[in-house]
């Protein structure tokens, strides 16, 4: 039962990610609202709770709540979209905090995948995108 629920949740996150990507240029506020809604269905319980965590606290939270790597990976993809929206809207302070968390999440997920001997083709493109976002802040 638990695995079915997790799989269903990951599939739903994927659907939301596709919708956010489609809306981020034409309806950025709606895309941000969708991202906030997704966080309500996670162990973070809200985007505000996620935003309040520092990178160090984020790691402790993820470990304590035993968060699923696939969920974290999809949330990371959503956060990349949010970072794009924030930068496009000139919200550099919010974007900087978000990009720092993205840096942590990409590294954390990569480390966990290595420990679990999981190979993902997404990490390299995520690192490239993160590098681009970091350069955008300068």
d(CA 6, CA 96): 30
- Count of beta carbons in the 10 Å neighbourhood of residue 58: 19
Instruction: Report pLDDT for 6.
Output: 64
Instruction: Report pLDDT for 2.
Output: 60
pLDDT digits (tens, 9 = 90+) for 5-31: 666 776 777 787 888 888 888 999 999
Residue 11 belongs to what domain range?
2-137
Instruction: Report pLDDT for 12.
Output: 74
Rg over CA atoms, the chain: 14
Number of domains in the chain: 1
Positions in the chain short of pLDDT 50 = 1
Instruction: Report pLDDT for 14.
Output: 74
Instruction: Report pLDDT for 50.
Output: 97
Beta strands in 50-109 (DSSP E): none
State the pTM of this model: 0.88
């Amino acid at each position: 039962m638990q695995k079915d629920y997790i799989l269903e949740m990951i599939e739903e996150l994927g659907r939301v990610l596709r919708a956010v990507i489609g809306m981020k240029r034409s309806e950025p506020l709606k895309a941000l609202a969708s991202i906030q809604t997704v966080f309500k269905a996670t162990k973070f319980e809200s985007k505000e709770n996620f935003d309040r965590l520092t990178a160090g606290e984020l790691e402790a939270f993820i470990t304590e709540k035993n968060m699923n790597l696939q969920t974290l990976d999809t949330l990371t993809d959503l956060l990349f979209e949010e970072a794009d929206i924030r930068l496009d809207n000139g919200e550099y302070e919010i974007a900087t905090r978000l990009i720092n968390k993205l840096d942590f999440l990409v590294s954390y997920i990569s480390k966990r995948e290595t420990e679990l001997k999981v190979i993902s083709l997404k990490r390299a493109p995520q690192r490239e995108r993160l590098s681009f976002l970091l350069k955008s802040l300068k």
